């Protein structure tokens, strides 16, 4: 019995060391998911950012499934996802955008360089709508179902391998 007690501190140390090492090797998921998934869109009324293109309001985001893309002209991953958004638009997907802390001139230049997949672009100067959606950064894309509920959230830039998943989520949202 005495021999077992002598080795107990070493065993306890080894256990604590294994737990700490495991946490360092395989850290937890730090992605911030929106609590709004599955819930109705919050009441949004965002003014138009660009002339000739309407703003975004919750009332207009009903009737058929669509994507709601939170983006910014100053966001490098937003540039990387632009070709995939254009592919989705070519596939018949309606995409609405919310420009975060941006200017009309900067967004116009961004769209001229990277293509314009958006039906509407709302101006969110102080990120109020972004926070209401539960979005923690740019870019983020939400699948909105026909009833105006958030059906799915894609965090980060849309890459080629994500297009099929978004199309499947849109199909489920009908």
**Which of the four pLDDT bands, split at 50, 70 and 90, describes residue 94?**
very high
Residue 4: the pLDDT is 67
20 is a domain residue: no
Please state the domain count of the chain.
Answer: 1
Higher pLDDT: 123 or 136? It is 123
- Model's pTM, two decimal places? 0.82
Residue 27 has pLDDT above 70, yes or no: no
22 is a domain residue: no
3 is a domain residue: no
138 is a domain residue: yes
27 is a domain residue: no
Going from the C-alpha of 93 to that of each of 24, 56, 108, the distances in angstroms are 41, 16, 21
13 is a domain residue: no
Q: What is the domain range of residue 134?
A: 45-172
32 is a domain residue: no
107 within 8 A of 128, measured Cβ to Cβ? no
Higher pLDDT: 89 or 29? It is 89
Mean pLDDT score of the chain, rounded to an integer?
91
142 within 8 A of 173, measured Cβ to Cβ? no
Going from the C-alpha of 6 to that of each of 11, 18, 105, 174, the distances in angstroms are 10, 20, 73, 66
Residue 15: the pLDDT is 79
What is the average per-residue pLDDT within 125-130? 95
**Which of the four pLDDT bands, split at 50, 70 and 90, describes residue 28?**
low
Q: What is the CATH number of the domain that holds 65?
A: 3.40.30.10
């Amino acid at each position: 019995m005495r021999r077992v007690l002598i080795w107990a501190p070493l065993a306890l140390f080894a256990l604590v060391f294994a737990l700490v090492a495991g946490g360092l090797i395989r850290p937890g998921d730090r992605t911030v998911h929106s609590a709004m998934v599955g819930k109705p869109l919050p009441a949004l009324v965002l003014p138009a950012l660009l002339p000739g293109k309407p703003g975004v309001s919750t009332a207009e985001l009903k009737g058929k499934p669509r994507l709601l893309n939170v983006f910014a002209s100053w966001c490098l991953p937003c540039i990387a996802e632009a070709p995939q958004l254009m592919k989705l638009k070519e596939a018949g997907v309606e995409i609405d955008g919310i420009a975060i802390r941006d200017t009309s001139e900067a967004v116009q230049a961004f769209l001229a360089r990277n293509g314009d997949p958006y039906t509407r672009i709302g101006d969110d100067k102080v990120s109020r709508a972004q926070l209401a959606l539960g979005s923690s950064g740019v870019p983020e894309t939400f699948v909105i179902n026909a009833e105006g509920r958030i059906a799915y959230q894609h965090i980060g830039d849309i890459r080629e391998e994500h297009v099929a998943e978004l199309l499947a989520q849109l199909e489920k949202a009908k």
